Amino acid sequence: MTAPLNRRHLLKGASSLLAVATLGGVASRNTQAAALRSTADAALIHHPAYIPIDQCLQRAVDDGTVAGVVAMGATERGLVYEGACGRSNIHGQEAIGPDTIFWLLSMTKAITATACMQLVEQGRLRLDQPAGEFLPQLKTPRILDGFDASGQPKLRPARNAITVRHLLTHTSGFTYSIWSDRLSQYEKATGMPDIGYSMNGAFAAPLEFEPGERWEYGINMDWVGKLVEAVTDQSLEVYFREHIFEPLGMRNTGFLIGSAQKQRVATLHRRQGDGSLAPEPFEINQRPEFFMGGGGLFSTPRDYMAFLQMLLNSGTYRGERVLRADTVAMMFRNHIGDLQVTEMETAQPSWSNSFDQFPGAVHKWGLSFDINTQPGPHGRSAGSASWAGLLNTYFWVDPVKRVAESLFTQMLPFYDARVVNLYGQFERAFYDGLQRA
């Protein structure tokens, strides 16, 4: 974190998530592991065709890749696979499972995009409408043009207006300090808080390039959240609940976490220098100045799969329509033209490794997902939509093979190589299982 506050101040109030129990000898560990598997498997959807997924999840726990992991898969007919292995806390006794609470971080973005597209359907927003028509702060954006000899930022007015489409596609010019040395330097020079603190001061961030001129991941969906609130005159917490979560039966998803839900939160773990995992506290600000449309939600794997199944089934889930079919199809199309999604090079390695889901391949951006234009290396079709959350949660929706999958862990830094390898194994085993089921 580069703001004056230490990012650890954000991670307050979560010490109760850290269990203090220490496991005994080898025999005790084996007995407890068997009990954990039994508890976690009690209500899972299993099919013999997907046993290889169970095996790769178990190996990942046994070899220390993860403390605990949940994997889910669905076809257009419904859930076909639920798997869970390990513990919510590496030193605890609580089995992880599909009803464990996870912080979604950037997997929030797809939900915020859905809310925005509902307003587009209703004619209350247009994709190519200047966002400044609703958000005065965006009427006169400024671009960071370097730093002077004293280290103070130099700013110039942007020539282009920021549109709703620019925000949805990360082509507006806004960035994230985790993947931007220049924005990290700007935070240090000005004292501007990072967006992760949920403080409105973070919206003073400058652009790093002219709107529409390139793709770079940034705080755009937080602006989209502000846009949804401005148009609807509702907070995101209320709008999401009424128009997305209640129709989809997502009862364990929101920005503000209840006391009972807090007891079910998976503990954050951090990869140590020796490859081991150590727990540390983490909690999204529960007294925020704004609700982060780009990363503030918590949820469960089962809840999030309801959302992904809605997208897979062209906007409907269990008889409830959230989006029109043509809207979902539009969201899965390329909306950045000839621009390219590029590698996100880390500026803060303790929080994220450099990230490129499809190195060496062309990929585009929809509304609002990464879209691979070529078949993926582990089975997904060209045209699939995917993204991830900072704590190593991942999802993809394959509209060709008609499947949706997700993988949930809670650990840092993001894009951990061992978790990415597990993600690939899960994807391959899922598609192989579809052939056998």
Q: What does the block give as tokens for 21? A: 């129990």
Question: Chain-centre distance of CA 236, in angstroms?
Answer: 17
The pLDDT-based confidence of 3 (bands split at 50, 70, 90) is very low
User: 424 and 284 in one domain?
Assistant: yes
Tell me: the pLDDT tens digits for 145-184? 999 999 999 999 999 999 999 999 999 999 999 999 999 9
Beta strand segments in 226-272, E: 268-271
Cα 75 from Cα 255, distance rounded (Å): 28
- Residues 96 and 266 sit within 8 Å (Cβ to Cβ): yes
DSSP one-letter code for 283: -
Res. 320: pLDDT tops 90: yes
Tell me: the pLDDT tens digits for 56-89? 999 999 999 999 999 999 999 999 999 999 999 9
Res. 35: pLDDT tops 60: no
The verdict on residue 1 lying in a domain is no
Q: Which amino acid is at 209?
A: F
User: Mapping DSSP to helix (H, G, I), strand (E, B) and coil, where does residue 177 land?
Assistant: helix
* Residue from 6, 10, 2, 17 nearest 410 by CA: 17
pLDDT of residue 43: 55
User: 249 and 369 in one domain?
Assistant: yes
Final residue in a domain of this structure, among 231, 247, 270: 231
User: 77 and 130 in one domain?
Assistant: no
* Residue 261: exposure state from Cβ atoms within 10 A (0-12, 13-18, ≥19): middle
* Residue from 296, 303, 306 nearest 226 by CA: 296
- Residues designated as active site: 106, 109, 217
Please indicate whether residue 23 or residue 418 has the higher confidence score (pLDDT). Answer: 418
Write out the residue range of the structural domain in which residue 275 sits.
Answer: 7-110+233-436
User: 279 and 152 in one domain?
Assistant: no
User: 276 and 402 in one domain?
Assistant: yes
Which residue in the block uniquely carries the two structure tokens 């691979």? Answer: 372
